[in-house]
Structure 1
Amino acid sequence: MTFDQLGLSRKVVSAVADAGYTIPTPIQADAIPHAVAGKDVLGIAQTGTGKTAAFVLPMITRLEKGRARARMPRTLILEPTRELAAQVEENFVKYGKNHRLNIALLIGGVSFDEQEKKLERGVDVLIATPGRMLDHFERGKLLLTGVEILVIDEADRMLDMGFIPDIERICKLIPFTRQTLFFSATMPPEITKLTEQFLQAPVRVEVSKAASTATNIVQRLVKSKSKGWDKRETLRNLIRQEGDDLTNAIIFCNRKVDVSELFRSLVKHDFDAGALHGDMDQRARMAMLDGFRKGKLKLLVASDVAARGLDIPAVSHVFNFDVPIHAEDYVHRIGRTGRAGRSGKSFTIVTKSDAKYLDAIKKLIGQDIEWLDGDVSTIAHDDEDDSPRPRRGRERKPRGDSKPPRKTRSAPAPVEDDAPSVVPAEPLAPAAVVEAVQEEKPQRKRRDAIKAENAERKAAQPEAAPAPRREDPAPRRDDNDRRGGKRRGRDHDEGDGTIGFGDDMPAFMKIEVKA
Structure 2
Amino acid sequence: MYKGIKSVCIYGGGDRKEQVSVCTRGVEIIIATPGRLYDLISAKIVNVTSVTMLVLDEADRMLDMGFEPQIMKILLDIRPDRQTVMTSATWPEGVRRLATKYLTDPVQLYVGSLDLRAAKTVTQKLEMVRDEEEKSERLMRFISEEMTDADKLIVFVGRKSTADNLSCDLAMKGIQCQAIHGDREQCDREEALEDFKEGLVKILIATDVASRGIDVRDITCVMNYDFPRNIEEYVHRVGRTGRAGRTGTSLTFMVREDWKHAKELIEILKQGEQVVPQSLVDMADRYDAAMRKRAEEGGGRGRGGFRRGGRGGGGGSSGFGGFGGFGGNRRRDGDGNGGFFF
TM class by smaller structure: 0.7 to 0.9
Q: How does 1:237-248 map to 2 (within 5 A)?
A: 237-244=141-148, 247-248=151-152
Q: Percent identity?
A: 36
Conservation of the 8 A alpha-carbon contact between 1:222 and 1:371: no
- Which residue of structure 1 lines up, in the alignment, with residue 303 of structure 2? none
**1:350 maps onto 2:249 in alignment:** no
Deviations 1:294-315 (A, max 9, x none): 0001100000011111011111
Shift of 1:233: 0.8
- Which residue of structure 2 lines up, in the alignment, with residue 370 of structure 1? 275
- Which residue of structure 1 lines up, in the alignment, with residue 40 of structure 2? 136
2:153 partner amino acid: A
Conservation of the 8 A alpha-carbon contact between 2:60 and 2:91: yes
**1:334 maps onto 2:238 in alignment:** yes
Conservation of the 8 A alpha-carbon contact between 1:222 and 1:373: no
Distance in 1, Cα, partners of 2:120 & 2:111: 14
CA change 1:180–1:361 in 2 (3 A) is farther
- Which residue of structure 1 lines up, in the alignment, with residue 73 of structure 2? 169
- Which residue of structure 1 lines up, in the alignment, with residue 55 of structure 2? 151
CA change 1:361–1:377 in 2 (3 A) is closer
Secondary structure of 1:349's counterpart equals strand
CA change 1:120–1:191 in 2 (3 A) is closer
Secondary structure of 1:339's counterpart equals coil
Secondary structure of 1:244's counterpart equals coil
Secondary structure of 1:359's counterpart equals helix
CA change 1:361–1:155 in 2 (3 A) is farther
CA change 1:222–1:136 in 2 (3 A) is same
Q: Which residue, out of 82, 86, 107, partners 1:178?
A: 82
- Which residue of structure 2 lines up, in the alignment, with residue 273 of structure 1? 177
Conservation of the 8 A alpha-carbon contact between 1:352 and 1:376: no
- Which residue of structure 2 lines up, in the alignment, with residue 201 of structure 1? 105
CA change 1:153–1:358 in 2 (3 A) is farther
Shift of 1:241: 4.0
- Which residue of structure 2 lines up, in the alignment, with residue 313 of structure 1? 217
TM-score, with length taken from structure 2: 0.76
**1:224 maps onto 2:129 in alignment:** yes
Deviations 1:430-482 (A, max 9, x none): xxxxxxxxxxxxxxxxxxxxxxxxxxxxxxxxxxxxxxxxxxxxxxxxxxxxx
Q: Which moved more, 1:354-363 or 1:303-312?
A: 354-363
Distance in 2, Cα, partners of 1:315 & 1:148: 38
CA change 1:302–1:196 in 2 (3 A) is same
**1:296 maps onto 2:208 in alignment:** no
- Which residue of structure 1 lines up, in the alignment, with residue 117 of structure 2? 212
- Which residue of structure 1 lines up, in the alignment, with residue 323 of structure 2? none
2:102 partner amino acid: F
CA change 1:306–1:315 in 2 (3 A) is same
Secondary structure of 1:100's counterpart equals coil
- Which residue of structure 1 lines up, in the alignment, with residue 290 of structure 2? none
Shift of 1:239: 3.0
**1:252 maps onto 2:152 in alignment:** no
1:192 partner amino acid: R
1:297 partner amino acid: V
1:358 partner amino acid: A
Conservation of the 8 A alpha-carbon contact between 2:60 and 2:94: no
Q: How does 1:467-482 map to 2 (within 5 A)?
A: none
Structure 1: runs of 5 or more not aligned: 1-92, 379-515
Conservation of the 8 A alpha-carbon contact between 2:117 and 2:271: no
- Which residue of structure 1 lines up, in the alignment, with residue 325 of structure 2? none
CA change 1:105–1:122 in 2 (3 A) is same
Distance in 2, Cα, partners of 1:229 & 1:201: 54
Shift of 1:202: 1.5
CA change 1:124–1:197 in 2 (3 A) is same
Deviations 1:94-143 (A, max 9, x none): xxx4x122111111232222111211221111011111111111111110
Distance in 2, Cα, partners of 1:362 & 1:166: 37
Distance in 2, Cα, partners of 1:233 & 1:311: 29
Secondary structure of 1:175's counterpart equals coil
Distance in 2, Cα, partners of 1:246 & 1:346: 16
Secondary structure of 2:179's counterpart equals strand
Deviations 1:343-399 (A, max 9, x none): 111111111111112333445676375367965969xxxxxxxxxxxxxxxxxxxxx
Distance in 1, Cα, partners of 2:127 & 2:98: 37
Shift of 1:256: 0.7
Shift of 1:331: 1.3
Bigger radius of gyration = 1
Distance in 2, Cα, partners of 1:194 & 1:102: 29
Deviations 1:387-418 (A, max 9, x none): xxxxxxxxxxxxxxxxxxxxxxxxxxxxxxxx
Shift of 1:207: 2.3
Distance in 2, Cα, partners of 1:229 & 1:248: 23
CA change 1:326–1:295 in 2 (3 A) is same
Distance in 2, Cα, partners of 1:131 & 1:199: 22
Secondary structure of 1:323's counterpart equals coil
Distance in 2, Cα, partners of 1:109 & 1:139: 18
CA change 1:363–1:102 in 2 (3 A) is same
Distance in 2, Cα, partners of 1:219 & 1:365: 7
Conservation of the 8 A alpha-carbon contact between 2:270 and 2:276: no
Secondary structure of 2:251's counterpart equals strand
Distance in 2, Cα, partners of 1:215 & 1:122: 46
Structure 2: runs of 5 or more not aligned: 284-342
Count of aligned residue pairs for this structure pair: 281
- Which residue of structure 2 lines up, in the alignment, with residue 187 of structure 1? 91
Distance in 2, Cα, partners of 1:375 & 1:245: 32
- Which residue of structure 2 lines up, in the alignment, with residue 5 of structure 1? none
**1:322 maps onto 2:226 in alignment:** yes
When you count strand as a share of all residues, which structure comes out higher? 2
Conservation of the 8 A alpha-carbon contact between 1:101 and 1:124: yes
CA RMSD across the alignment: 2.3
